[in-house]
Structure 1
């Protein structure tokens, strides 16, 4: 979930104004404990314990640090998913040093974690699947089993197979949204029993893309053009609509991070998605949800947990405006007016 697009100051100001105009009063958690350097967090719950999974190498040399909490406020490290990058990924992508963007869900009596491997700025990427019977590291059943490759993209493709997100639609069909830069956010139909790609529906659906501005700068050497930056899709169903959350602009740049979280909605999981003004997301539309404030920069890399009584949560990362250090953020979601509202720590 590494972004490369830099918004103009004027556009960023407009987004902040738009975001502020629709802001409601969600509850923003004050977090403590081991919350620093939590990139691309994915939140799940098993029993009474909350778990957050994050991108990258752990201090022990493994991949995907796991953080635990009993109250959503106090967090501690409680393990890692992999002790090392799987051998098949090392052979397929020998330059890969970190695994990215875990997406954890509970389906078919197992926890599924879709995740990505890639190289910075390249679309020679892949999405894989690992499964576990439990998230409790003290359980005798705790063991992450890697199921291997689900989907890959190659240099000649117009999409990038990273930032996976699983959703089961209201008809019981399974889908995988993904994408970063290039032609934007894509989707594939999954086989419900295996979690792998459907063999009967091989359509590559398009959900959202950025619009090229007339003054777009040339692409940096060997990298996609900055104006293409849209990634980190996450889809939820609420009130008769599917809501597509995405991250725009630059991630992972410390004080220069310009990430922001943008949304659209649709009646069908495959779209067409539109923003609050009715502009299609396939034409560059998007309603701002999370934008920088005076304390936190670059809020994005989000995942959502849908609660039983509209007790919905969004977890994401943001960068300290003084130090540039990333940290986890957590907010409830308010759905007033049919659109989600969330907040950053003040």
Structure 2
């Protein structure tokens, strides 16, 4: 099927003042009439609504044909097509329009086949209803080392039982019919979403970033992360949150009864100060935020630019809720360096107090 008019629609969409995937959908009926897409839409329509089918199509097109690149001045991001001329020569994220069509065909057929599995159908419906962003769809790269990274061989549907659990936890916390405090959690999830999925602002170095999707950053950038890692980080931060002091006990009991969390009662602590983290304080801040101030933040235990090993990646083992004091103390140091600094300070205080050179605080 000749799809050249669709290419023109996509290229016009990224030149608009404001990118709109809804407008792209309205103008890309020809793509939806292509057999792989049409077969998928028919099957999706058998268990989700027409509006939800539209959401799936919009997210799939967004993930396959478009990318959100940081602007040259690193002030914000701008949508572009995967074959855009502003990519540097040899950038592994480039894909031609025809290559994107091949990816689209592969993913449509892969999802269509997976929908024969009732478990996957249930999970896929949850993605539409409880996705945190208009871009969420379970697609991921096999490896960041592929050249190009965006190809039929390297992009597939993500199957991960922890993602299914994450979606069900979201529903438990955000569904007003299940949780009377859902509005509070909407604000908390917004904080989690930014830290889980979007790059930090990096104005220097070889790979400048500013709030792109991490899996769309240059794969050689320390800010890059697979979508599966970002989802795992969100789950990690939620599980830490549930172990804050004063977290609603009724919600804990519900999540345990649904088999979504384990019954461990270990209190979450700041990794630097080791102070216990208090849910009521976080809730107060979300309800009444103060610009430029936040008692609780989310940070990397080891800064992404501080090294090359696994411990310096954007991954669950390297991220945590942290107090404002802890974040200020740590600065650019690794967690190990920070704790060594605190121990040195403590030993110096003890020695000088014992010698009488200073008074106890």
Give the TM-score category using the shorter length: under 0.3
Looking at CA atoms only, which structure, 1 or 2, has the larger radius of gyration?
2
- Larger relative contact order (CA 8 Å, sep ≥ 6): 1
TM-score (norm 1): 0.28
TM-score (norm 2): 0.27
Q: Which has the higher helix share?
A: 2
Q: Which has the higher strand share?
A: 1
